[in-house]
Amino acid sequence: MSALSLGCLLGLGLGAFYLVGTVASAPAPEEIGPAPSDLSIEPVTIASPSGSRLSGWFVAGRPRTGAVLLMHSLWANRLDMVDRARLLNEHGFAVLLFDFQAHGESTGQRVTFGYLEAQDARAAFGFLRRRMPAERIGVIGLSMGGAAAVLGELPADAMVLEAVYADFSKAVENRLAFLLGAPGRYLAPMLTWQVQLRLGFDYKVLQPAERISKLRVPLLLIAGGDDGLATLEEAKDPLCACAPAQAAMGHSRRTPRRLSLPLPDRI
Protein backbone atom coordinates (compact mmCIF):
# COMPACT_ATOMS: atom_id res chain seq x y z
CA MET A 1 0.00 0.00 0.00
CA SER A 2 1.43 3.39 -0.98
CA ALA A 3 1.94 6.23 1.47
CA LEU A 4 -0.77 8.18 -0.34
CA SER A 5 -3.28 5.33 0.04
CA LEU A 6 -2.38 4.92 3.70
CA GLY A 7 -2.78 8.65 4.26
CA CYS A 8 -6.19 8.62 2.60
CA LEU A 9 -7.35 5.71 4.74
CA LEU A 10 -6.10 7.44 7.87
CA GLY A 11 -7.87 10.63 6.87
CA LEU A 12 -11.11 8.76 6.21
CA GLY A 13 -10.84 7.06 9.58
CA LEU A 14 -10.28 10.34 11.40
CA GLY A 15 -13.13 11.92 9.48
CA ALA A 16 -15.44 9.04 10.38
CA PHE A 17 -14.67 9.38 14.10
CA TYR A 18 -15.10 13.14 13.93
CA LEU A 19 -18.53 12.56 12.38
CA VAL A 20 -19.37 10.10 15.17
CA GLY A 21 -18.41 12.77 17.71
CA THR A 22 -20.66 15.27 15.92
CA VAL A 23 -23.62 12.92 16.03
CA ALA A 24 -23.00 11.80 19.63
CA SER A 25 -22.98 15.33 21.03
CA ALA A 26 -25.78 16.68 18.83
CA PRO A 27 -28.87 17.96 20.66
CA ALA A 28 -31.84 15.62 21.00
CA PRO A 29 -34.89 17.91 20.71
CA GLU A 30 -38.37 16.44 20.71
CA GLU A 31 -41.86 17.86 20.90
CA ILE A 32 -43.27 16.32 24.05
CA GLY A 33 -46.95 16.74 23.30
CA PRO A 34 -49.85 16.76 25.77
CA ALA A 35 -49.21 15.79 29.37
CA PRO A 36 -50.62 12.45 30.54
CA SER A 37 -54.25 13.02 31.48
CA ASP A 38 -54.17 10.67 34.48
CA LEU A 39 -51.63 12.86 36.32
CA SER A 40 -52.38 16.31 37.77
CA ILE A 41 -49.44 17.88 35.96
CA GLU A 42 -48.31 21.47 36.32
CA PRO A 43 -45.99 22.53 33.46
CA VAL A 44 -42.91 24.30 34.81
CA THR A 45 -39.87 26.09 33.40
CA ILE A 46 -36.63 26.13 35.36
CA ALA A 47 -33.67 28.43 34.71
CA SER A 48 -30.40 26.48 34.88
CA PRO A 49 -26.79 27.67 35.30
CA SER A 50 -26.09 25.59 32.19
CA GLY A 51 -27.72 28.44 30.25
CA SER A 52 -30.79 26.38 29.43
CA ARG A 53 -34.40 26.91 30.33
CA LEU A 54 -35.55 23.47 31.39
CA SER A 55 -39.04 22.29 30.50
CA GLY A 56 -40.66 19.99 33.03
CA TRP A 57 -43.73 18.69 34.79
CA PHE A 58 -44.48 18.93 38.50
CA VAL A 59 -47.04 16.66 40.14
CA ALA A 60 -48.11 17.41 43.73
CA GLY A 61 -48.38 14.59 46.28
CA ARG A 62 -49.70 13.96 49.76
CA PRO A 63 -48.24 16.17 52.52
CA ARG A 64 -45.42 14.64 54.60
CA THR A 65 -44.96 11.75 52.15
CA GLY A 66 -41.90 13.07 50.30
CA ALA A 67 -40.92 14.21 46.82
CA VAL A 68 -38.83 12.57 44.09
CA LEU A 69 -36.78 14.17 41.32
CA LEU A 70 -36.74 12.02 38.17
CA MET A 71 -33.92 12.40 35.63
CA HIS A 72 -33.80 10.71 32.25
CA SER A 73 -30.98 9.12 30.26
CA LEU A 74 -28.87 10.31 27.33
CA TRP A 75 -30.75 11.31 24.13
CA ALA A 76 -34.09 10.82 25.94
CA ASN A 77 -36.50 13.16 27.72
CA ARG A 78 -39.06 13.32 30.54
CA LEU A 79 -41.45 10.97 28.74
CA ASP A 80 -39.14 8.09 29.64
CA MET A 81 -39.79 8.82 33.33
CA VAL A 82 -43.60 9.04 33.18
CA ASP A 83 -44.16 5.44 34.32
CA ARG A 84 -41.96 6.01 37.33
CA ALA A 85 -43.75 9.29 38.05
CA ARG A 86 -47.12 7.55 37.85
CA LEU A 87 -46.05 4.77 40.21
CA LEU A 88 -44.57 7.18 42.74
CA ASN A 89 -47.53 9.55 42.64
CA GLU A 90 -49.94 6.66 43.20
CA HIS A 91 -48.12 6.14 46.50
CA GLY A 92 -48.46 9.80 47.44
CA PHE A 93 -45.08 11.19 46.39
CA ALA A 94 -44.76 14.55 44.68
CA VAL A 95 -42.62 14.25 41.55
CA LEU A 96 -40.67 16.53 39.24
CA LEU A 97 -39.57 15.29 35.83
CA PHE A 98 -37.87 17.50 33.26
CA ASP A 99 -35.82 17.56 30.07
CA PHE A 100 -32.07 18.10 30.45
CA GLN A 101 -30.44 20.86 28.42
CA ALA A 102 -30.31 20.00 24.69
CA HIS A 103 -32.96 17.31 25.22
CA GLY A 104 -36.71 17.28 24.66
CA GLU A 105 -38.13 20.78 24.84
CA SER A 106 -35.27 22.31 26.84
CA THR A 107 -32.87 24.66 25.09
CA GLY A 108 -29.21 23.78 24.57
CA GLN A 109 -26.54 23.51 21.89
CA ARG A 110 -24.78 20.24 22.70
CA VAL A 111 -25.25 17.14 24.82
CA THR A 112 -22.42 17.02 27.39
CA PHE A 113 -22.84 13.52 28.88
CA GLY A 114 -23.41 14.78 32.43
CA TYR A 115 -21.25 17.93 32.62
CA LEU A 116 -23.80 20.69 31.99
CA GLU A 117 -26.56 18.25 32.91
CA ALA A 118 -25.17 18.22 36.48
CA GLN A 119 -25.96 21.96 36.63
CA ASP A 120 -29.46 21.20 35.38
CA ALA A 121 -29.83 18.58 38.12
CA ARG A 122 -28.89 21.14 40.78
CA ALA A 123 -31.33 23.67 39.32
CA ALA A 124 -34.17 21.13 39.25
CA PHE A 125 -33.40 19.96 42.78
CA GLY A 126 -33.39 23.57 43.99
CA PHE A 127 -36.75 24.16 42.33
CA LEU A 128 -38.22 21.10 44.05
CA ARG A 129 -36.75 22.12 47.40
CA ARG A 130 -38.33 25.56 47.13
CA ARG A 131 -41.69 24.06 46.20
CA MET A 132 -41.53 21.42 48.94
CA PRO A 133 -39.46 23.00 51.75
CA ALA A 134 -40.74 20.67 54.48
CA GLU A 135 -40.48 17.41 52.52
CA ARG A 136 -37.67 14.91 52.26
CA ILE A 137 -36.49 14.60 48.65
CA GLY A 138 -35.24 11.52 46.85
CA VAL A 139 -33.64 11.29 43.42
CA ILE A 140 -33.98 8.64 40.71
CA GLY A 141 -31.51 8.98 37.83
CA LEU A 142 -31.27 6.73 34.79
CA SER A 143 -27.90 6.45 33.02
CA MET A 144 -26.78 10.04 32.32
CA GLY A 145 -29.47 11.26 34.73
CA GLY A 146 -27.84 9.26 37.51
CA ALA A 147 -24.42 10.58 36.53
CA ALA A 148 -25.78 14.15 36.65
CA ALA A 149 -27.22 13.53 40.12
CA VAL A 150 -23.85 12.36 41.43
CA LEU A 151 -21.70 14.90 39.58
CA GLY A 152 -24.08 17.65 40.70
CA GLU A 153 -23.61 16.61 44.36
CA LEU A 154 -27.32 16.91 45.08
CA PRO A 155 -28.17 17.15 48.79
CA ALA A 156 -30.82 14.44 48.46
CA ASP A 157 -32.20 12.32 51.30
CA ALA A 158 -31.90 9.14 49.19
CA MET A 159 -30.78 8.16 45.68
CA VAL A 160 -31.60 5.44 43.17
CA LEU A 161 -29.06 5.25 40.32
CA GLU A 162 -29.91 3.04 37.35
CA ALA A 163 -27.33 1.90 34.78
CA VAL A 164 -24.90 4.75 35.53
CA TYR A 165 -21.53 4.69 33.76
CA ALA A 166 -18.45 4.46 35.98
CA ASP A 167 -16.36 6.99 34.08
CA PHE A 168 -16.66 8.55 30.65
CA SER A 169 -13.65 6.93 29.02
CA LYS A 170 -14.80 3.49 30.14
CA ALA A 171 -18.30 4.24 28.85
CA VAL A 172 -16.90 5.11 25.42
CA GLU A 173 -14.78 1.95 25.42
CA ASN A 174 -17.82 -0.17 26.29
CA ARG A 175 -19.90 1.33 23.50
CA LEU A 176 -17.20 0.87 20.89
CA ALA A 177 -16.68 -2.72 22.00
CA PHE A 178 -20.43 -3.29 21.75
CA LEU A 179 -20.49 -1.93 18.20
CA LEU A 180 -17.15 -3.15 16.84
CA GLY A 181 -16.14 -6.04 19.07
CA ALA A 182 -13.41 -6.13 21.73
CA PRO A 183 -10.75 -4.34 19.59
CA GLY A 184 -13.08 -1.34 19.41
CA ARG A 185 -12.02 -0.37 22.95
CA TYR A 186 -8.65 0.75 21.64
CA LEU A 187 -10.31 3.36 19.45
CA ALA A 188 -11.85 5.23 22.39
CA PRO A 189 -9.20 8.02 22.42
CA MET A 190 -10.39 8.97 18.92
CA LEU A 191 -13.62 10.14 20.55
CA THR A 192 -12.59 11.26 24.03
CA TRP A 193 -10.08 13.81 22.71
CA GLN A 194 -12.94 15.61 20.98
CA VAL A 195 -14.65 16.51 24.28
CA GLN A 196 -12.26 19.37 25.08
CA LEU A 197 -12.35 20.59 21.47
CA ARG A 198 -16.13 20.47 21.05
CA LEU A 199 -17.53 20.92 24.54
CA GLY A 200 -14.84 22.88 26.34
CA PHE A 201 -14.07 20.67 29.34
CA ASP A 202 -11.78 17.79 30.26
CA TYR A 203 -13.63 14.48 29.92
CA LYS A 204 -11.75 13.17 32.98
CA VAL A 205 -14.09 15.16 35.24
CA LEU A 206 -16.88 12.74 34.23
CA GLN A 207 -16.18 10.06 36.84
CA PRO A 208 -19.45 9.25 38.65
CA ALA A 209 -17.99 6.13 40.33
CA GLU A 210 -15.51 8.25 42.25
CA ARG A 211 -18.32 10.49 43.51
CA ILE A 212 -20.65 7.59 44.32
CA SER A 213 -18.13 6.14 46.74
CA LYS A 214 -18.26 9.41 48.70
CA LEU A 215 -22.05 9.62 49.01
CA ARG A 216 -23.39 9.56 52.54
CA VAL A 217 -27.08 9.02 51.82
CA PRO A 218 -29.16 5.82 51.44
CA LEU A 219 -28.32 4.55 47.95
CA LEU A 220 -29.67 1.89 45.61
CA LEU A 221 -27.56 1.07 42.56
CA ILE A 222 -29.30 -0.87 39.78
CA ALA A 223 -27.33 -2.57 37.01
CA GLY A 224 -28.12 -5.14 34.33
CA GLY A 225 -26.15 -8.36 34.36
CA ASP A 226 -26.20 -8.46 30.56
CA ASP A 227 -25.68 -4.72 30.12
CA GLY A 228 -22.42 -4.28 28.23
CA LEU A 229 -22.57 -0.48 28.38
CA ALA A 230 -22.79 0.16 32.14
CA THR A 231 -21.65 -3.17 33.50
CA LEU A 232 -22.52 -4.87 36.75
CA GLU A 233 -18.85 -5.18 37.72
CA GLU A 234 -18.29 -1.45 37.25
CA ALA A 235 -21.28 -0.72 39.48
CA LYS A 236 -19.87 -2.91 42.27
CA ASP A 237 -16.63 -0.94 42.69
CA PRO A 238 -18.10 2.30 44.09
CA LEU A 239 -20.64 0.28 46.09
CA CYS A 240 -17.86 -1.51 47.96
CA ALA A 241 -16.44 1.85 49.05
CA CYS A 242 -19.75 2.96 50.59
CA ALA A 243 -20.65 2.47 54.24
CA PRO A 244 -22.09 -1.07 54.69
CA ALA A 245 -25.50 0.10 55.96
CA GLN A 246 -25.79 2.91 53.47
CA ALA A 247 -25.99 1.25 50.04
CA ALA A 248 -27.54 -1.71 48.28
CA MET A 249 -27.48 -3.14 44.78
CA GLY A 250 -30.17 -4.63 42.60
CA HIS A 251 -29.54 -6.30 39.27
CA SER A 252 -31.33 -8.17 36.55
CA ARG A 253 -30.04 -10.14 33.57
CA ARG A 254 -31.16 -7.38 31.25
CA THR A 255 -30.43 -3.67 31.06
CA PRO A 256 -32.81 -1.96 33.53
CA ARG A 257 -35.79 -0.37 31.79
CA ARG A 258 -38.71 -0.51 34.15
CA LEU A 259 -38.32 -1.83 37.65
CA SER A 260 -41.15 -2.64 40.05
CA LEU A 261 -40.16 -2.43 43.70
CA PRO A 262 -42.27 -2.17 46.85
CA LEU A 263 -42.37 1.51 47.77
CA PRO A 264 -42.18 2.96 51.29
CA ASP A 265 -45.06 5.06 52.54
CA ARG A 266 -42.72 8.02 52.67
CA ILE A 267 -39.06 8.92 52.24
Helices and strands (DSSP H and E) totals, the chain: 8, 10
pLDDT tens, the chain, 267 aa long: 565 544 444 444 455 556 677 889 999 999 999 999 999 999 999 999 999 999 999 999 999 999 999 999 999 999 999 999 999 999 999 999 999 999 999 999 999 999 999 999 999 999 999 999 999 999 999 999 999 999 999 999 999 999 999 999 999 999 899 888 988 898 899 899 999 999 999 999 999 999 998 888 999 999 887 776 777 777 766 655 555 545 555 655 554 443 334 445 555
Rounded to whole angstroms, the Cα distance separating 258 from 176 reads 25
Rounded to whole angstroms, the Cα distance separating 187 from 31 reads 35
Which domains does the chain possess? Answer: 40-252 (3.40.50.1820)
Write out pLDDT tens, residues 211-247: 998 888 999 999 887 776 777 777 766 655 555 545 5
Regarding beta strands 94-98 and 158-162, do their DSSP bridges make them parallel or antiparallel, or are they unpaired?
unpaired
Q: CB count, 10 Å around CB of 3? A: 7
Q: Which amino acid is at 103?
A: H
pTM of the model: 0.87
In DSSP terms, which residues pair with 141 in a beta bridge? 71, 161
Angle among Cα 199, 202, 207 to the nearest 5 degrees reads: 110
pLDDT at res. 250: 60
Helix axes 189-199, 168-180, angle to 10 degrees: 130
Residue 182 phi/psi, 5-degree rounding, is -50, -40
Write out pLDDT tens, residues 157-194: 999 999 999 999 999 999 899 888 988 898 899 899 99
User: Is 58 in a helix, a strand, or coil?
Assistant: strand
